[in-house]
Each structure stands twice: as structure tokens, then as C-alpha cells.
Amino acid sequence: MNFPKQYGQNKIWIIYNAWRRSAPPRRQDAGKPDPEGLRAEAAVEDEARCAVEALEALGHTPEVYAISSILDLAVRINGTEKPKLVFNLAEGFRGSSGREMNIAALFELLDLPYTGNTAKTLALAQDKILTKRLFESAGIPTPAWTVYDGHLAPDTRALCFPLIAKPSCEDASIGIFAGGVFDSPEKLEKALPGLFETYRQPVLVEEFIDGREINAAVLESGGKARVLPLSEILFDGLPSGEPRIAGYEAKWHEKSVFYTGTPAVCPACVEAALREKIEDLGIRVFTLLGGKDYGRVDFRVDRAGNPYVLEYNPNPDISPESGFVRSLRAGGLAFGDFAGVLLRNNGYE
């Protein structure tokens, strides 16, 4: 994708992670074997395109920079071309989502204002095990859980089946598939070594809340966070017997029944009491993890109407058909309005 590049004084850079259409197998600490991750990385170009159009409509002339070399980026930022603000869309580096926080940390080291969540928040949210502990310490309801570390089978005696297993340090639904929901200890224990070997990280095992899935988009403006209209993923179109989840196939495989069978509706039809609970928990999660500018909190709601926080998604997808943008539209905000909020939040008028 060729983006226009503008040069001059007082400019904004839109920075995103360059992606490769093929990649050799890699370990998690340097990336991983990841046709999944490559597909997710490629989607960031749509976000960059939207940002270009929105900023140009606001009268700015942004430069677009796809990160492929950290050294080149640091030299350019610290040189004569140093921007006044970075519109940060980097979701990792060279196929490793775990390095997303390092890009933000580089901006911080160079005293460069940037949009989106801080390096600290990105690091916290990346580690689902750590965030689960933080949620529990703050009294935020989250599904009961345990961890498989690649050695002994996890102790699931205190948990109620079915359970769902997922990589503990991934995003974009990577590693979450319909086959990842288990109804017995034997099936779970048989699958865990393969998950650990594939993703080279601890596996989070948690109770599967067989109910509604609701997303709360959070937008900060002028130092105050608010929840946009809630969005719900519907599961009525899934084949009989399939677990009601929105995994990797539902997010990225457009020809899959999991994609076509899990439409999202926004605003969600949520009764007032439940909406208030979810909005309150969304702000609590955003505050607890030090959220900045925007984020999304994912919930499951059980049959009794009790909401449980699954995770906080900092800097979520903001491409045209994303859930976050649907919530913006439902709240009466165009993408340009959103871009303007981010600029004002970060001192760029």
C-alpha cells in the first residue's frame, strides 16, 4: 500500500508496523510461527489509511512511516525530521505482538508525544495472567482460572467445566479456536502440550462462560474516560454444537462459518441494570491498568446476567469495520471526531 508522504514543520507521523507476507518460523520471544499474526498485522494498513484521511480532513499533512528498522526510526525521530506527535498504530514488530510496548517505550525515551496507551499499559494488558491477578486484587469479576506452564498438568479441581484454553500473551484472538473449549480434564490435558509448543508461552485455562459476549469501547477525552455504546457479538449463526466464541476464525477468516455466523450489533440490546454494571466495570478496568486515550474491555455475561471481564484490549483495531469504530458511530462520532480527540488529548491543536 502506497501512502502519501508529506514533509515539513510541525507535522504528525502515523507510525505502524510493517508486515511481511511470508516469514520463517520464530520463537515467541522473537515472534512465532505465525500465519495468524501476519494476517492480523496486515489489517493495520486499513487503520493507517483511515488515519491519513481523517487527519488530512482536519487540515494536517501527516507522514506515514511503516516500522521495519528500529535504528532507522530512532535516528529519524531524533534528527531534523522529528515530528511533533506520533499517531501510534504499531501493534508489534517483525511479527511479534509482544514487542508492541517497546515501540511506545521508544517514543517515551525520546520525549515524543504519541496517541494511545502507554508502554506500561501495553505490557500489562499483553500478559493475561498478570491482568487476571490484578482484576482479582481489585475485586473485578473475571472467570476462575489456572495456568499450564509446560510441565505439570494444571490443577482444575476448583474449576467448573467446560474450560477454555488460550495463549496467555497474544492478542487479535490468536490461538483461540473452537477446538479450544474442553468438557473434560482428559481432553484438556491432551491438548495443552500442543498449545504450549505452538505458542511457546504459558497457557491460560479459565472457566468458559457460555453466555453473551459484550464489548465496551472506552474513549478518554480531556482526562475523563467514558464508555461508548456497547457492542455485542451474536452467536445464533453458528452450527449446532459449536462453542459460542469469537475466536481467530470468527475475526479473520471471512469465508468461515465462524465469521459469517458471529455478526456484531451496536448498540447492543442490554437492559439498563446490566449496562450500568458493564460501564462501571469498563471504567474500573481502564483506570486500573492506566488506560490512555482509548481501549476496549471484553466481557462474557452468564445466564444469570452476571458480567465477567475477560481482558483489556489497549489500542484496539480502529479500521473501518472494527468494533471500536462501530461504537464510535453508534455514539454519534465520526472517525475524524475521534482523531481530533486524540490530538487534543496529546497537546496537539
Residue spans of the domains in the chain: they are 12-114, 142-207, 210-230+266-345
Between CA 126 and CA 101 the distance in angstroms is 9
Averaged pLDDT for residues 63-77: 89
The predicted pLDDT at position 25 comes to 39
Per-residue confidence band for 2, with pLDDT thresholds at 50, 70 and 90 = low
Task: Examine the pLDDT at 23 and tell me if it is beyond 80.
Answer: no
Per-residue confidence band for 26, with pLDDT thresholds at 50, 70 and 90 = very low
| Ranges 9-13, 143-147, 239-243: which has the least confidence | 9-13
The predicted pLDDT at position 311 comes to 97
Task: Examine the pLDDT at 321 and tell me if it is beyond 50.
Answer: yes
Residue 280: strand, helix, or coil:
helix
C-beta separation of 317 from 296 below 8 A: no
Averaged pLDDT for residues 274-298: 98
C-beta separation of 308 from 300 below 8 A: yes
Per-residue confidence band for 176, with pLDDT thresholds at 50, 70 and 90 = confident
N-term to C-term CA, the chain: 29
The predicted pLDDT at position 293 comes to 98
The predicted pLDDT at position 9 comes to 46
Between 189 and 76, the higher pLDDT residue: 189
Averaged pLDDT for residues 68-94: 87
Between 81 and 300, the higher pLDDT residue: 300
The predicted pLDDT at position 345 comes to 97
The predicted pLDDT at position 74 comes to 85
Averaged pLDDT for residues 22-36: 42
Per-residue confidence band for 221, with pLDDT thresholds at 50, 70 and 90 = very high
The predicted pLDDT at position 255 comes to 83
Classify domain 210-230+266-345 at the CATH topology level.
Answer: D-amino Acid Aminotransferase; Chain A, domain 1 (3.30.470)
Residue written as grid cell 483489556? 312
Task: Examine the pLDDT at 7 and tell me if it is beyond 50.
Answer: no
C-beta separation of 198 from 25 below 8 A: no
Classify domain 142-207 at the CATH topology level.
Answer: Dna Ligase; domain 1 (3.30.1490)
Task: Examine the pLDDT at 4 and tell me if it is beyond 70.
Answer: no
Q: Residue 139 — left, alpha, or beta (φ > 0 → left; ψ -120 to 50 → alpha)?
A: left
The predicted pLDDT at position 41 comes to 61
Per-residue confidence band for 38, with pLDDT thresholds at 50, 70 and 90 = low
| Ranges 9-23, 278-292, 300-314: which has the least confidence | 9-23
Share above pLDDT 90 across residues of the chain, in percent, rounded to a whole number: 69
Contacts of 298 (CB under 8 A, 6+ apart): 213, 214, 215, 216, 309, 310, 311, 312, 313
Task: Examine the pLDDT at 264 and tell me if it is beyond 50.
Answer: yes
The predicted pLDDT at position 39 comes to 58
Residue written as grid cell 494536517? 60
- Which of 297, 299, 328, 300 minimizes the C-alpha distance to 314? 297
Task: Examine the pLDDT at 27 and tell me if it is beyond 70.
Answer: no
The predicted pLDDT at position 145 comes to 98
Residue 204: strand, helix, or coil:
strand
Which segment, 15-24, 73-82, 256-265, 304-313, is predicted with the most confidence on average? 304-313
